[in-house]
Structure 1
């Protein structure tokens, strides 16, 4: 017959009285140390209370007593992942999947496997007392094809639709037939085409993103130059894959990234036209795999 204290603890936890629930379960286990259900319930209460060290040991006791307990394996995997032990977390997630496709275990295992080669920032700081960018990875640039087809066309259209009222304002008595405006637009079009290789070269090297193990260095602008290093743990949500009309026509894509520029404020930046749709999707997946390993130990749960 089930002990009534188990149900009592369950009710207390449901009411948010976590410390009382934990005390009831501790009392129950003092009399029945082999009660795996009560032991797992205690681990859950300890997690809710933020007692991670105790919860880790309790979960290990559950697994030792009942090796097929996938709930304990999953919770222990999450604890290890939050602490940056990605290899240990991956092993726990594999144990879960050997028994049950539970919750988001498969997705978490993929995150650990992709990011496992690089320890999180907190572990690096604990070892060296210094937060470094880490090794450089791929470099992303604004693609030339994202620029070329549009600058000249935009110039032509702006001349046809906007230049005539402008000249009329400057000299109301003068007449500027459409043919003359088109000729002027064509001249500017040719100048734009002639200068395109230079402007494209400058812009594709001015708008760059250098990826590192622990963050990315984003450079934008030519005359108003800006450089911003964003740690992966500053990113507040999974990056958003974006394509608009320009990107469909030029076979490119962009990423929208939200990050904490201060402890309490968030800004968004767009990495425009940084590659083909497939390359940008790979970039999005990479960043998404790095964020949990970096953000959780530094900033707490994902917002």
Structure 2
């Protein structure tokens, strides 16, 4: 069965029968992308689609790209369709690696341009041909939920969205180690959220990437600018959106709010008209030397 992707239905797509095809249109590409779903692999959310739009809008031709925490492989496919010479996709979830390969082929991309590998963050890159200072771009839409208190086995897509204390494990690995895997002038582009601690993210970026752009007021990530207008800053928020909080996150609310209080972070959610929204920040950072 094939379903045309609709952003407002994204929460429903996490429980589709394995083998269902999602057809996703991106303005910048001349063909719909097709993704086979699996119950153990997180399907694209509206902010995954926004990431895809940002990738498709830039020139990937001839570039070597990493899709870090690849999930279904959507960002890998967008980079491949946008001309990337080679894509390395990594994920801790073995089924995500399987589905990335299947979806790459489903979209007519040659197998010689993709390497998909199970990896706990960057661990599998050590000692490999694709290692330090090899990549032009690293793209990531990482998992964002905190680990559950029961330590249960990962059996579903939602289980694989659990990502350490504060939902930060992959986020922090990308910020603290990603620079080492880029060529000089290479860039990372990733999504982070208010529920993970906007202040923690901005502080970590300053420490590992140098001067960035911060908003005035309590939330340093609450803005968005055109990347070309950043001046001498090495990182900036290039897109900002609020998304209604799905029911999936409700069991995590007490832990998310406690994490924000204990770490002195801005409010993890926005509240509008009686609804809760997660705050999403698309951040680009450049290796300057």
TM-score, structure 1 normalization: 0.19
TM-score, structure 2 normalization: 0.20
Which one has the bigger helix percentage? Answer: 1
Q: Which structure: larger Rg? A: 1
Which one has the bigger strand percentage? Answer: 2
